[in-house]
């Protein structure tokens, strides 16, 4: 979708004239024609871009920037005032309810809480609209500057970047609004009785067992996702008495590994049983004294155990001594044992964990390799960890190793030339990876058979998120920051080049408690009887181009037409069964293969035959001749096989009418893409290998052996008859049995090797049973043919 069309279909009606006039700026980039248009040359060349044209365009651009900046500032101040007013109203109503419970006074009516909830919902919608307004206008300025530099060859981007920094309408952080609104909305939703509990919500626990699903969220949808969640779960605030500070939400982690073997990276990527990740984590800035030493251990489902995260706290000044073995475990927990706040059993468990981590770091020569930094917004009921949702924004991965001849961390456990100063502009590009999306983690502790809440299912199935199961910050950062050392890539690597934004499939998102007048992708069709301030009551009379009011009306008409076209497309998509994120990329490809089972290729290709052929062509000589012969043979074999399939008698699918003639439309499965790894790299696809897989492989091999033994017994019995026909038949059955034994042995060894290496290959046998049946049929046919042929000619019969 072009940005101009996106802007028209996503803007808000009441704020229409405050948006960037993108069309006017595009028109301002066009100079007059050098010659008059004719029938032969309807679009002649335009005049060269001059300094006067540049001055005129910059003046127009400055006016648009001032308009957007002023409106955003005024609207933001208005939201602050509305939040303060709502806070006073909520406090009064809640205090009245408390006095009524204690002194027996008249309690506030349910209507009072309903009105407060509607007012807060309206403010939430305003925050959502302002965030969308900011995002659209910032994108508009970036697009028009890029178009200007491309068309005019005058470089305005560096100069205008300074103007944007002077009027940074796009840098407002809405997290403070979200935290305040979350607290107020929770008070109103619970009618003044919010759930009490430990705000750390499990922070004091040492072991965590949760069912976690991860999603990517595009920056355009981050604020909307936060606002949706806060209407169901409050923002988790660890210190409610302290004013909100963005630094309090910062989380940094240092991951350790062996830079020679990368064993921890490989184990976590392949999800091998018992694979570990060792990291050191702290919350807030670099001056934090408490550091958490954590170990994450992966457990396979068949073991009956759950993957677990265990951790203990240590003072920052003691980290280097502990990791090097200079400080013993007893010294680390000496003060904890002296304080007596934990039981002896808890301290013993922590000491055992610390000994194991210290032993692994020293013996395996683990060093810091990757740092992850992000700001986390957590949503959870205090003291209730059954449903916990976290959204990590500004995710950044940074190198911590001392490779390539650079002392990044040196002998320290972390590098000290950076803190929490995102976006870490002081670092060279090869040392930092700024992740383009936010990461949403939905952590549930549900009982067996229990479904998650309905609103969570709607959120995770909406267009706002993209499911990426098993995504890991450690794995992604390590693979991207070490391209020369890591050859095995995670399966989501190709998705980084795909835009994860999806069209709106159904009405889901932030809505006002009353009829909304928004022109947005999530709004319903605007009523044809809209009042004089609406879009659809504009007269269709011809307009004068020189009248500014008429130009504005023309803009409104264009927006209306774009909106109607967008709504019509949404209705067609919904009728055709488009379901947003109902399937992730793995499931969509699986669904496509189910619809077309003949297309039996792996989802991810680690090598390309076309690339190999082109490489052989460049080399020339014998390698090219051999590659060309192999390619020609493959093409010929495919052509022959397709021809045999076409003429062979077999059940055929009924041809379907064209899509536009079908009743109710067609059911779509989403985008399918065949991913290919870079040359020299391999993409690891997660494959679950359980003990029953090996047992099934053995049972299949034994079944083949049993069948082969039966054939051998038949052959031995036929030999005892002593005549020529029996001997020929025995030879036929023996050949079939020997071929079956050899084939089954080779297949068994191949399957064992692939399962041991956890390779994502096609394990089912498409041709073996069929070929065996054909060979057995041929042997029986030869036996019957010789026997009945001999009967007809009198062979083998006396007198």
Provide mean pLDDT across the span 117-129. Answer: 87
473 catalytically annotated: yes
Per-residue pLDDT averaged across 574-580, rounded?
46
Q: Is residue 752 part of a domain?
A: yes
- How high is the pLDDT of residue 582? 42
Q: What pLDDT, on the 0 to 100 scale, is given for residue 526?
A: 32
Cα–Cα distance, 751 to 32 (Å, whole number): 71
Residue 589: predicted pLDDT: 41
Closest CA to 366 of 324, 409, 309, 313: 324
Q: Is the per-residue pLDDT at 282 higher than 90?
A: yes
Instruction: For residues 417 and 296, state if they share a domain.
Output: yes
Residue-wise pLDDT for 672-688, tens only, equals 445 666 777 777 776 66
Residue 257 lies in a domain: yes
Asked whether residue 173 is assigned to any structural domain, the reply reads: yes
The whole-number pLDDT of residue 277 equals 92
Q: What is the pLDDT of residues 306-337, one digit of tens each?
A: 777 889 999 999 999 999 999 998 888 888 88
**pLDDT, the chain, mean:** 76
Q: Is the pLDDT of residue 433 over 60?
A: yes
- Is residue 311 within 8 Å of 294, Cβ to Cβ? yes
Counting Cβ atoms within 10 Å, is residue 618 exposed (0-12), middle (13-18) or buried (19+)? exposed
On the 0-12 / 13-18 / 19+ scale of CB atoms within 10 A, 692 is exposed
d(CA 175, CA 377): 8
Asked whether residue 97 carries a pLDDT value surpassing 60, the answer given is: yes
pLDDT at 559 (0 to 100): 56
Asked whether residue 186 falls in the same domain as residue 208, the answer is: no
> Rounded mean pLDDT of 443-461?
76
Looking at the fold, whether 226 and 164 belong to one and the same domain comes out as no
Same domain membership, residue 333 and residue 263? yes
Residue 242 has pLDDT above 80, yes or no: no
Q: Which of 438, 473, 497 is the last residue of a domain?
A: 497
Contact by Cβ (8 Å): 207, 310: yes
Residue 293 β-bridge partners: 280, 312
pLDDT at residue 308, as a whole number: 77
Q: Is residue 670 in a domain?
A: no
Q: Do residues 213 and 79 both lie within one domain? A: no
Which of 214, 473, 667, 673 does the annotation list as catalytic?
A: 473
Asked if pLDDT for residue 603 goes beyond 50, the answer is no
pLDDT at 241: 59
Q: What is the mean pLDDT of residues 261-277?
A: 88
Question: Residue 765 falls within a domain, yes or no?
Answer: yes
Q: Give domain status of residue 61, yes or no.
A: yes
Same domain, 185 and 204: no
Residue span of the structural domain in which 272 resides: 198-497
Residues 222 and 189 in one domain: no
- The pTM is what? 0.69
188 and 214 part of one domain: no
Residues 58 and 83 both lie in one domain: yes
pLDDT reported for residue 292: 94
- Domain boundary at 448, 474, 497, which? 497
**CB 320 within 8 Å of CB 413:** yes
Quick one: 423 and 403 in the same domain?
Answer: yes
- Residue 413: predicted pLDDT: 92
CA nearest neighbour of 348 among 247, 561, 206? 206
3-state secondary structure of 131: helix
Picking from 169, 194, 219, the residue at the C-terminal end of a domain is 194
Q: Which band of pLDDT confidence, cut at 50, 70 and 90, is reported for residue 392?
A: very high
Within a domain: 623: no
pLDDT in tens, 516-557: 444 333 333 333 333 333 333 333 444 444 455 555 555 555
Mean pLDDT of 739-749: 89
Flag whether pLDDT at 14 surpasses 50. Answer: yes
102 and 220 share one domain: no
Tell me, yes or no, whether 449 lies in a domain.
yes
Residue 782 token pair = 């030869």
Q: For residue 236, give the CATH number of its domain.
A: 3.20.100.30
pLDDT tens digit string along 763-797?
778 778 888 888 888 878 877 777 776 544 444 44
**Residue tagged 């002392």 (tokens):** 407
Cα separation, 688 vs 759, in Å, equals 10
Asked if 130 and 68 sit in the same domain, the reply is yes
CA nearest to 166, candidates 94, 69, 240: 69
Report the number of distinct structural domains present in the chain: 3
More confident position, 323 or 595: 323
Q: What is the mean pLDDT of residues 698-717?
A: 87
pLDDT score at 516: 41
């Amino acid at each position: 979708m072009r940005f101009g069309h996106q802007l028209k279909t996503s803007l808000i009606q009441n704020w229409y004239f405050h948006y960037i006039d993108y069309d006017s700026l595009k028109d301002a980039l066009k100079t007059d024609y050098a010659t008059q248009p004719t029938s032969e040359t309807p679009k002649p060349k335009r005049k060269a871009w001059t300094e006067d044209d540049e001055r005129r365009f910059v003046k127009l651009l400055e006016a648009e920037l001032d308009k957007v900046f002023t409106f955003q500032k005024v609207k933001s101040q208005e939201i602050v005032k509305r939040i303060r007013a709502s806070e006073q109203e909520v406090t009064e109503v809640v205090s009245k309810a408390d006095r009524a419970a204690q002194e027996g006074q008249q309690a506030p009516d349910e209507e009072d809480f309903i009105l407060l909830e509607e007012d807060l919902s309206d403010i939430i919608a305003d925050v959502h609209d302002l965030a969308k307004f900011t995002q659209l206008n910032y994108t508009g300025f970036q697009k028009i500057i890029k178009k200007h530099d491309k068309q005019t060859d005058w470089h305005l981007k560096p100069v205008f970047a300074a103007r944007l920094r002077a009027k940074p309408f796009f840098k407002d952080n809405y997290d403070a609004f979200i935290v305040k609104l979350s607290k107020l909305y929770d008070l109103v939703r619970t009618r003044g009785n919010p759930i009490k509990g430990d705000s750390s919500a499990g922070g004091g626990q040492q072991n965590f067992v949760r069912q976690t699903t991860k999603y990517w969220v595009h920056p355009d949808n981050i604020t909307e996702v936060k606002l949706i969640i806060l209407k169901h779960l409050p923002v988790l605030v660890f210190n409610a008495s302290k004013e909100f500070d963005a630094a309090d939400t910062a989380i940094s982690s240092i991951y350790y590994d062996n830079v020679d073997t990368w064993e921890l990276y490989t184990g976590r990527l392949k999800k091998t049983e018992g694979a570990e990740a060792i990291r050191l984590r702290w919350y807030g800035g670099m001056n934090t004294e408490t550091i958490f030493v954590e170990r994450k251990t992966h457990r396979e489902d068949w073991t009956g155990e759950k993957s677990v995260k265990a951790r203990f706290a240590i003072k920052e000044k003691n980290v280097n001594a502990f990791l090097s073995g200079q400080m013993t475990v007893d010294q680390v927990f000496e003060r904890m044992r002296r304080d007596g706040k934990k039981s002896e059993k808890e301290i013993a468990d922590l000491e055992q964990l610390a000994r194991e981590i210290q032993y692994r770091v020293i013996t395996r020569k683990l060093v810091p390799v990757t740092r992850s930094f992000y700001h986390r917004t957590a949503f959870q009921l205090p003291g209730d960890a059954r449903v916990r949702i976290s959204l990590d924004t500004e995710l950044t991965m940074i190198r911590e190793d001392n490779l390539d001849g650079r002392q990044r961390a040196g002998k320290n456990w972390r590098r000290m030339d950076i803190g929490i100063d995102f976006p870490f502009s002081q670092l060279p590009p090869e040392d930092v990876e700024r992740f383009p999306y936010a990461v949403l983690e939905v952590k549930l502790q549900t009982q067996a058979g229990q479904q998650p809440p309905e609103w969570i299912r709607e959120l995770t199935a909406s267009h706002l998120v993209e499911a990426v199961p098993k995504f890991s910050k450690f794995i992604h950062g390590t693979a991207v920051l070490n391209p020369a050392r890591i050859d095995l890539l995670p399966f989501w690597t190709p998705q980084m080049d795909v835009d994860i934004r999806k069209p709106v499939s159904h009405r889901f998102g932030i809505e006002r408690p009353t009829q909304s007048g928004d022109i947005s992708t999530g709004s319903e069709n605007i009523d044809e009887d809209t009042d004089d301030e609406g879009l659809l009551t504009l007269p269709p009379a011809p307009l004068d181009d020189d009248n500014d009011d008429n130009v504005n009306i023309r803009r409104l008409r264009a927006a209306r037409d774009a909106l109607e076209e967008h709504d019509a497309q949404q209705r067609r998509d919904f009728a055709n069964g488009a379901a947003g994120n109902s399937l992730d990329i793995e499931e969509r490809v699986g669904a496509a293969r189910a619809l077309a089972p003949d297309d039996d290729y792996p989802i991810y290709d680690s090598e390309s035959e076309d690339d190999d052929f082109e490489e052989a062509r460049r080399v020339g000589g014998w390698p090219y001749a051999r590659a060309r012969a192999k390619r020609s043979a493959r093409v010929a074999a495919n052509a022959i096989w397709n021809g045999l399939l076409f003429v062979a008698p077999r059940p055929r699918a009924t041809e379907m009418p064209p899509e536009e003639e079908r009743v109710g439309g067609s059911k779509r499965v989403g985008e399918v893409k065949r991913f290919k790894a870079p040359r020299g790299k391999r993409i690891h696809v997660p494959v679950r290998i359980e003990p029953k897989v090996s047992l099934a492989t053995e049972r299949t091999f034994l079944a083949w052996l049993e069948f082969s033994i039966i054939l051998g017994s038949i052959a031995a019995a036929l030999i005892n008859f002593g005549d020529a026909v029996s001997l020929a038949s025995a030879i036929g059955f023996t050949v079939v049995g020997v071929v079956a034994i050899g084939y089954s042995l080779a297949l068994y060894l191949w399957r064992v090797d692939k399962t041991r290496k956890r390779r994502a290959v096609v394990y089912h046998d498409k041709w073996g049973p069929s070929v065996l049946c054909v060979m057995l049929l041929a042997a029986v046919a030869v036996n019957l043919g010789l026997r009945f042929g001999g009967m007809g000619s009198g062979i083998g019969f006396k007198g």
